[in-house]
Chain A
Amino acid sequence: MKKIAVLLASVLLLAGCAPAGQVEISDAWVKSGEMSVEGGMTAVYGTITNNTDKEVTFVGGETAIAGLVEVHEMAMIDGEMKMQRIEGGLVIPAGESAVLEPGGNHLMLMQLTGDLMAGDMISVKFDFEGADSITLDSVMAKPAEGGDESYHETEMDMSN
Chain B
Amino acid sequence: MVSRRGFLQGGAIGVAGSAIGATSGSLVANALNNTAAETATAKRQLPFYGKHQMGIETPIQAVTNLVAFDLKPETDRSSMLRWMTLLTDDIARLSRGEPVLADPAPELAIGPAGFSAYVGLGKSMFIKLGMESDIPAGFIDLPAFKMDQLEEKFSGGDVVIHVAADDPIALSHATRSLVRDSIPFASVRWTQSGFAHTPGVVKSGVTHRNLMGQIDGTANPQLNSDDFASVVWMDQGPEWAVGGTQMVFRRIAMQLDTWDQLGTKSKEEVIGRKLASGAPLTGTLETDAPDFAARLPNGLSVIPDFAHIRRAAPEAFKERIFRRPFSYEAGISESGSVDVGLLWCSYQANIEEQFLPIQRRLEEFDLLNKWTVPVGSATFFIPKGPEPDSVIAQALFS
Do A and B truly interact?
yes
Residues of A within 8 A of B (CB): 7, 10-11, 14, 27, 29, 31-32, 45, 102, 117-121, 140, 142-144, 146-147
B66-115 with Cβ < 8 A to chain A: 79, 81-86, 89, 101-102, 104
What residue in chain B is nearest A146 (Cβ atoms)?
B104
State the Cβ distance, A27 to closest chain B Cβ, in Å: 6
A119 in contact with B86 (CB, 8 Å):
yes
Main secondary structure of the interface of A (DSSP, over half): mixed
Pick the contact of B101 from A10, A11, A140 — CB < 8 Å? A140
User: Are B180 and A143 in touch, CB under 8 angstroms?
Assistant: yes
* Stretch touching chain A among B181-189, B216-224, B292-300, B377-385: B181-189
Is the beta-carbon distance between B101 and A29 smaller than 8 angstroms?
A: yes
Contact in complex: A120, B82 (CB < 8 Å): yes
Q: Which residues of B contact A (CB under 8 A)?
A: 79, 81-86, 89, 101-102, 104, 180-181, 183-185, 388-389
- Report the separation of the CA atoms of residues A85 and B188 in the bound assembly, to the nearest whole angstrom: 39
Interface residue from A7, A10, A11, A29 paired with B102 (Cβ < 8 Å)? A29
Q: Which residue of B lies closest to A102 (CB)?
A: B102
> Given A11-B389, A32-B184, A140-B89, do A118 and B82 touch, yes or no (CB 8 Å)?
yes
Q: With A and B bound together, what is the CA distance between A86 and B104 in angstroms?
A: 25
Q: How far is the CB of A65 from chain B (nearest CB, A)?
A: 15
What's the nearest-Cβ distance from chain B to residue A15, in Å? 9
Q: Taking the nearest CB of chain B, how far is it from the CB of A120, in angstroms?
A: 6
Contact B81 A142, beta carbon cutoff 8 Å? no
Question: In whole Å, how far is B393's beta carbon from the nearest beta carbon of chain A?
Answer: 13
- Tell which of B79, B83, B86, B184 touches A140, judged by Cβ atoms closer than 8 Å: B86
**B389–A142 touching, CB < 8 Å:** no
* B184:A117 contact, CB within 8 angstroms: yes
A to B contact number (C-beta, < 8 Å) = 50
A139 CA to B40 CA, complexed, in Å: 34
Separation of A117 and B83 alpha carbons in the complex (Å) = 10
**CA–CA, A14 and B386, complex, Å:** 14
Q: Across chains A and B, which 7 residue pairs bring their CB atoms closest together, nearest first?
A: A119-B82, A142-B102, A118-B184, A29-B101, A144-B102, A119-B85, A119-B86
Instruction: Write out the residue numbers on chain A whose beta carbons fall within 8 Å of the beta carbon of B82.
Output: 117-120
In the complex, what distance in Å separates the CA atom of A27 from the CA atom of B81?
Answer: 21
Shortest CB–CB separation between residue A100 and chain B, in angstroms?
Answer: 12
Q: How far is the CA of A144 from the CA of B105 in the complex (A)?
A: 12
Determine the chain B residues whose CB is within 8 A of the CB of A32 once the complex forms. 184
List 7 extra interface pairs beyond A119-B83, A146-B104, CB under 8 A.
A31-B102, A118-B86, A119-B82, A119-B184, A140-B85, A140-B101, A144-B104
Residue in A closest to B85 when the chains form the complex, CB atoms: A119
Contact of B389 among A14, A102, A118 (CB under 8 A): A14
Q: Cβ of A10 and Cβ of B389 under 8 Å apart? A: yes
Chain B residues contacting A140 (CB-CB under 8 Å) are: 85-86, 89, 101
The residue of chain A having its C-beta at the shortest distance from the C-beta of B89 within the complex is A140
Residue of B nearest to A119 (CB): B82
Interchain nearest-CB distance for A118 vs B (Å): 4
Provide the residues of chain A in CB contact with B81, threshold 8 Å.
119
Residue of B nearest to A33 (CB): B184
A76 CA to B389 CA in the complex, in Å? 41
Most buried by A among B81, B85, B101, B102: B102
Chain A residue numbers with a CB within 8 Å of B83 are 118-119
A–B complex contacts, Cβ < 8 Å, 12 sampled: A7-B389, A14-B388, A29-B101, A29-B102, A102-B102, A117-B82, A118-B83, A118-B181, A119-B79, A119-B184, A142-B181, A144-B102
For the complex formed, measure the closest distance between the CB of A9 and the CB atoms of chain B, giving whole angstroms: 12
Q: Which residue of B lies closest to A144 (CB)?
A: B102
